[in-house]
Amino acid sequence: MLSRRSAFLPAKAEGGRQKAAKSPKPLLSAFRLLLSAFCLLLSALSVAAEAPGGEAGPRPALWVDNDTASIPEPARKFDTLHYDFFYATFGQAPRSFVGRLGAKQPAWNVNAWEEVPDSTWYTNRHHLHPMTAEQVARGANQHSGPDLSGRLAVLEGKTAGTSLGFGRTRDSAGNVYFIKFDSAEYPELTTASEVIAARFFHALGFHVPQEWIIYVRPEQIEIDPKATIWDKNGRQRQMTRADVEEVLKGSARAPDGRYRAVASLLLPGRVKGGFRFHGTSRDDPNDLIPHQNRRELRGLRLLSAWLNHYDIRPGNTMDTYVEQDGRKFLRHYLLDFGSALGSASFFPKTARMGFSYVWDTREMGKPFLTLGIYQPRWREHPAGVKFPSVGRFESEMFTPHLWKPVLPLVAFDYMDNADAFWAAKLVMSFTEEQVRAAVREGQLSDRQAEEYLVRTLLERQRKVGWYGFSVSSPLDGFRLGKTVGGEQVLLFDDLALKHGFAAPAGTYYVHTFSRLGEAGYLGRPRSFRGNSIPLDELMKWAGPAADAKAVFTLAIAARRAEPEFEERWVKVYLGREAGGFRLMGWERD
Amino acid sequence: MGPPVPRLAAIVIAVLLAASALLAQSTPLSSQPTERIIDIEAAERAKQTEHSFRAWQAPLMPFLAFGHAMEKGFIAVDRNHLLDKAQYYVTEHGRGFKPLFGGLGIGTGFAFGVEYYRNDFLRRGGRIGIPLRASTLLYQDYGIDLSLPVDSGQRVFFDANAHYRVRSQDDFFGLGNNSRAGDRTSYMLQSRQFTFGPRFQLSKRVRLTTNFGYRSTSVFDGKDARFPVITARFARNQIPGLRNGARMWLGEASLVHDTRDVPGRPRSGGYHRLAAAWQQSGDSGDYGFWRYQVEAERYVPLASRNRVLALHFLGITNQARGGSSVPFFEQVILGGSSTLRGFREFRFYDTSGVMMSAEYRYNLNAYADMVLFVDQGQVARQPGDFSWSGLRTGYGGGLRFLNQAGTPFKILLGRSNEGTRIYFSLGGTF
């Protein structure tokens, strides 16, 4: 038991943000102060209008954010990598700067239990409703895939020259798919990464297309008489058999003569273009939460980091105008995972990918200022390609929070510690069996390559988990229970212990109890071991006269022998009811 | 049958009921779920603010407009596959026309033109091209280039070229290492040249090139109105070739050994060239000389391929034969972005010259190298006249922008005792 109260308590009376364990460096603080002042100015100018910030106290107890009201059909948006590059790299620089400096609001779409409610953007799946390995492996797929008993009719070609595949292609059953092949130099690379990443992103809660690995014979492929193609000369013309042969010539062929491909089922609804990772869509009245303040998009940074989904950008997302229960609205998808894991579409990732943006001023600044003496480790000693079918995918140099996609994305820069915890929790929810099941969907012919991929994913998973659980309190899953003697207790999970990041022997917890909105503590702070807190004593401190509307804050933090884990607090909101407390939610500092 | 009025009323009521039912169906908003995780009114206000014009944005209007136009432009480019179209027109196919950009040297202004070409001309691997180039400063180059493989293995080629060139305003500061920067003048060269000869690819890394031909060069006053013309400052009889130009027979042989890993953006290896040339007046002019040239480039990785020391040496001497002289425009010329940075283009002229360059290049990212360099060089009448004290020094740094195969663009800042100069140049390894 600690004797000194001051060494014990969170900084704010109601369990507010805890001071960092290390004493701040004066220079750094002054620098941060200046930067913060600058940020505040910028925020006042540009971000201040983002009004609905979180107010103290429990958040709404909602599991569905109803953003499916009927809306007029929005216009089709078009996206271009070239503009995305300039806009994300230079146009969005001030906003990203603000995000990186920490002048950002907590995510808006977070419910009382620190979770993201279901919406047109996100559906809680595996981490809240555990899926079996088979369900993870099935992903979004709702049927057995393309009907390959007959012909595949190509309705339109993809842009020739760079893409090995076909645009809309109809199977014998009349369903329409997009077809993508592996390059001849790297068989299985693109298709495996596409399917495996799609399985994971589905289980993680995102909307993704239904995808299957298929094997087709050249003679199965026929061309619709109306099929057109943009050829490599930039001319749109009627597609010919030569175009099919051109695609197949550069594609990997299995020993039995068939071509391996990934088939993506056409998304339901009318395609409306990708979404951006900041702001709201003007023509979607349901879209009221600035995208940089959506937890699922902020947390997507760590999720993408785990899966090395480097090419995540507006061009690889899609909104579709769908009809459901008589209502018409937009649904938001992630697309095109061919550049996930070790793949960069048709070839392995280069050493830079995942460590640096295409044009990364900060990354360039260090060698610039040190006259090239400093070079990042990934550039000095780049990881090799161990298996052509896996590409460049490693876990040793991987650092979750330093991982970077192809372009800076504002929502990623706005990820805070609570978002990181949420994402890490999602990533850590996969067991090895489930990871194996998803990887098996990639149908890698080389067992060693498959094993390497599984191992690397598990190692990266540990790094993501460690990061997320160390920057925010890893206490979660709070619930009320009763002891055998009938005493009400608050139970919780310590995810750092559950996943083996910290040792139980060196861990104990502290808590304070207060009334929301009032200074000072009720009763005395306590330290304890184990994952339950008896509430009878707290009830006495709350007082018999407490009204039913009163909200109490139980702030809890873990203290561990492992120095990497700083003290982080989580506030649990409790309300009074007859004979005890009722759980109203919790909030992470 | 009932009276007509109640029947009409019944019809009206029925229609109204049907309409209201339809209306109820078509306006499902009333039955839509509305519970949101956010304060809807506040969020709608915030969204309205986000999408409305704010007073503080007024100074940013030009940037916003530029950004908007850029977005539309890029989308138009992508949707219409304009980059593919452009790529098609600048890439050679069997035969046709292609645009030309640059190619007239440093300080010639923005050059562009068109070339008619035909690949597999006469035989497989053969090529004929008719380039027509002009620049904004009226530099011009019109010609015909022919290259034919002699053997089926394409190791021996026969090359022939005929060109008419106009260099409208090259600079001349006088002869020698001690010419004064303040003596800058302008001259114009007009030349007609025909050369031919075999080229041997002796191995993957070694090639031997020979050329024979005739070149007629005339000298005129330069077109740069900012500076005096050459004849206003230098007497015609002081400067060889200034009075009547020169008409020369020529022959040249050069041996190149190239071990650079990627010739356009080398990180290791080297480039070595030995050349000897013979030129002799074809008319009454008293010009005849041998030219000997040694050039070496070495690229040394410094514990990493991300840090490279690039060294460049160039030595040239023109040895006049039997009391002849060397026209000033055939002499060694140092200065500018490729020979002696920190000085103007065409800064030093003389019959012999030496230039050394050391560059420290370090990688910033996949698309850019930072460069720090020191150049030293001097010109003299004879190699024996070179001295350490005569070396002119320039230093500086800059950025080299890279692509997969080469260095398409460089921005360098050079400084010397004659001031500071910025160089924008296309291509080149130094």
> How much is the pLDDT for B6?
59
* CB contacts, 8 Å: B33 with chain A: 64, 66, 68-69
DSSP 8-class letter at A150: S
**d(CA B166, nearest CA chain A) in Å:** 35
* CB contacts, 8 Å: B51 with chain A: 280, 282
* CA pseudo-torsion sign A237, A241, A242, A246: positive
Task: Assess whether pLDDT exceeds 60 at residue B103.
Answer: yes
Using pLDDT thresholds of 50, 70 and 90, give the confidence band for residue A131: very high
Q: Are A213 and A262 within 8 A, CB to CB?
A: yes
Angle at B159 between CA B158 and CA B163, to 5 degrees: 160
Task: Assess whether pLDDT exceeds 80 at residue A569.
Answer: yes
**d(CA A251, nearest CA chain B) in Å:** 22
Q: Are A280 and A211 within 8 A, CB to CB?
A: no
Counting residues of chain A whose pLDDT is more than 90, the rounded percentage is 69
* SS3 (DSSP) at B291: strand
Using pLDDT thresholds of 50, 70 and 90, give the confidence band for residue A477: very high
> How much is the pLDDT for A486?
87
> How much is the pLDDT for A209?
97
Which of A126-130, A185-189, B364-368 has the lowest average pLDDT?
A: B364-368
Pairing verdict, β A221-230 and A152-156:
parallel
Between A519 and B320, residue with greater pLDDT:
B320
Task: Assess whether pLDDT exceeds 50 at residue A321.
Answer: yes
> How much is the pLDDT for B24?
43
> How much is the pLDDT for A33?
46
> How much is the pLDDT for A484?
87
Asked if B80 and A109 come within 8 Å (Cβ–Cβ), the reply is no
DSSP 8-class letter at B108: S
> How much is the pLDDT for B55?
83
Asked if B37 and A375 come within 8 Å (Cβ–Cβ), the reply is no
A267 CA to centre of own chain = 21
Chain A residue at shortest CA distance from B90: A233
Chain B residue at shortest CA distance from A285: B44
pLDDT in tens, B125-182: 999 999 999 999 999 999 999 999 998 888 999 999 999 999 999 999 999 999 999 9
Residue extents of the structural domains in chain B: 155-394
Kindly give, in sequence order, each residue whose CB lies less than 8 Å from that of residue A125, ignoring residues fewer than 6 positions away: A131, A202, A203, A204, A205
**d(CA A356, nearest CA chain B) in Å:** 9
Task: Assess whether pLDDT exceeds 60 at residue A14.
Answer: no
Asked if A371 and B32 come within 8 Å (Cβ–Cβ), the reply is no
Q: Are A417 and A588 within 8 A, CB to CB?
A: yes
Asked if B50 and A78 come within 8 Å (Cβ–Cβ), the reply is no
**d(CA B78, nearest CA chain A) in Å:** 6
> How much is the pLDDT for B11?
67
Using pLDDT thresholds of 50, 70 and 90, give the confidence band for residue A301: very high
Using pLDDT thresholds of 50, 70 and 90, give the confidence band for residue A234: confident
Count of CB atoms situated within 10 Å of the CB of A9: 19
Question: Number of residue pairs across A and B with CB atoms under 8 Å?
Answer: 160
Q: How far apart are CA A323 and CA A408, in angstroms?
A: 33
* Amino acid symbol at B131: P
Asked if B80 and A234 come within 8 Å (Cβ–Cβ), the reply is yes
pLDDT in tens, B3-39: 555 566 666 666 665 555 444 444 444 455 578 999 9
**d(CA A335, nearest CA chain B) in Å:** 19
Write out the two tokens for B163: 């060109």
**d(CA A59, nearest CA chain B) in Å:** 8
Task: Assess whether pLDDT exceeds 90 at residue A496.
Answer: yes
Q: What is the mean pLDDT of chain A?
A: 87
Counting residues of chain A whose pLDDT is more than 70, the rounded percentage is 88
One-character DSSP codes across A407-428: S--HHHHT--HHHHHHHHHHHH
Count of CB atoms situated within 10 Å of the CB of A367: 22
pLDDT in tens, A357-386: 988 888 888 889 999 888 888 888 888 999
> How much is the pLDDT for A281?
94
**d(CA B52, nearest CA chain A) in Å:** 10
* Amino acid symbol at A492: F
Asked if B70 and A86 come within 8 Å (Cβ–Cβ), the reply is yes
Between A203 and A93, residue with greater pLDDT:
A203
Asked if A51 and B363 come within 8 Å (Cβ–Cβ), the reply is no
Count of CB atoms situated within 10 Å of the CB of B188: 20
> Which candidate in B25, B35, B38, B51 is best for mutational testing of the A interface (most A CBs within 10 A)?
B38
* Amino acid symbol at B332: V
pLDDT in tens, B409-419: 899 999 999 99
> How much is the pLDDT for A9?
43
**d(CA B337, nearest CA chain A) in Å:** 22
Out of A49, A352, A368, closest to residue B370 by CB: A368
Chain B residue at shortest CA distance from A280: B47
Q: How far apart are CA A187 and CA A184, in angstroms?
A: 6
Which of A7-21, A218-232, A522-536, B162-176 has the lowest average pLDDT?
A: A7-21
Q: How far apart are CA A478 and CA B401, in angstroms?
A: 55
Asked if A83 and B74 come within 8 Å (Cβ–Cβ), the reply is yes
Mean pLDDT over residues A201-214, rounded?
Answer: 97
Kindly give, in sequence order, each residue whose CB lies less than 8 Å from that of residue B314, ignoring residues fewer than 6 positions away: B293, B294, B295, B339, B353, B354, B355, B356
* CB contacts, 8 Å: B70 with chain A: 83, 86
Which of A150-164, A221-235, B18-32, B127-141 has the lowest average pLDDT?
A: B18-32
Mean pLDDT over residues A130-159, rounded?
Answer: 93
Asked if A83 and B39 come within 8 Å (Cβ–Cβ), the reply is no
Asked if B370 and A372 come within 8 Å (Cβ–Cβ), the reply is yes
Chain A residue at shortest CA distance from B88: A233
Which residues sit opposite B266 in a β-bridge?
Answer: none
Using pLDDT thresholds of 50, 70 and 90, give the confidence band for residue A92: confident
Q: Of A94-98, A572-576, B7-11, which has the strongest mean pLDDT?
A: A572-576
Which of A374-383, A446-455, A555-564, B301-310 has the lowest average pLDDT?
A: A374-383
* CB contacts, 8 Å: B309 with chain A: none
One-character DSSP codes across A178-199: EEEEPBSSSTTHHHHHHHHHHH
DSSP 8-class letter at B22: H
> How much is the pLDDT for A23?
36
Residue B91 CB burial class (10 angstroms; 0-12, 13-18, ≥19): exposed
One-character DSSP codes across A417-471: HHHHHHHHHHHHT--HHHHHHHHHTT--S-HHHHHHHHHHHHHHHHHHHHHHHHH
pLDDT in tens, B269-293: 999 999 999 999 988 778 999 999 9
> Which candidate in A80, A159, A163 is best for mutational testing of the B interface (most B CBs within 10 A)?
A80
* CB contacts, 8 Å: A232 with chain B: 84, 87-88
> How much is the pLDDT for B140?
97
Mean pLDDT over residues A389-411, rounded?
Answer: 95
> How much is the pLDDT for A475?
96
Count of CB atoms situated within 10 Å of the CB of A514: 22
What phi and psi values does residue B73 have, to the nearest 5 degrees? -65, -45
Residue extents of the structural domains in chain A: 5-24+473-588, 59-135+274-308+351-471, 143-272
**d(CA B95, nearest CA chain A) in Å:** 15
> How much is the pLDDT for B153?
84
Asked if B364 and A367 come within 8 Å (Cβ–Cβ), the reply is yes
DSSP 8-class letter at A100: H
Out of B43, B74, B81, closest to residue A234 by CB: B81
Using pLDDT thresholds of 50, 70 and 90, give the confidence band for residue A313: very high
* SS3 (DSSP) at B183: helix
CATH architecture of B155-394: Beta Barrel (2.40)
Task: Assess whether pLDDT exceeds 50 at residue A19.
Answer: no
Asked if B28 and A70 come within 8 Å (Cβ–Cβ), the reply is yes
Mean pLDDT over residues A61-81, rounded?
Answer: 91
Mean pLDDT over residues B305-319, rounded?
Answer: 95
**d(CA A440, nearest CA chain B) in Å:** 34
* CB contacts, 8 Å: B306 with chain A: 367, 372, 375, 379-380
Q: How far apart are CA B428 and CA A565, in angstroms?
A: 53
Chain A residue at shortest CA distance from B401: A359
Helix axes A432-440, A447-471, angle to 10 degrees: 130
**d(CA B98, nearest CA chain A) in Å:** 14
Q: How far apart are CA B289 and CA B246, in angstroms?
A: 13
Asked if A372 and B33 come within 8 Å (Cβ–Cβ), the reply is no
> How much is the pLDDT for B194?
97
Task: Assess whether pLDDT exceeds 50 at residue A15.
Answer: no
Asked if A230 and B362 come within 8 Å (Cβ–Cβ), the reply is no
* CB contacts, 8 Å: B28 with chain A: 70, 326-327
Write out the two tokens for A505: 């022997």
Say which residue the tokens 């109809």 belong to: A170
Which residues sit opposite B320 in a β-bridge?
Answer: B289
CATH architecture of A5-24+473-588: Sandwich (2.60)
Q: What is the mean pLDDT of chain B?
A: 90
* CB contacts, 8 Å: B362 with chain A: 367, 371-372, 375
Out of A52, A68, A350, closest to residue B43 by CB: A52
Which of A124-133, A537-546, B355-364 has the lowest average pLDDT?
A: A537-546
- Closest by CA position to A571, among listed A560, A550, A557, A558: A557
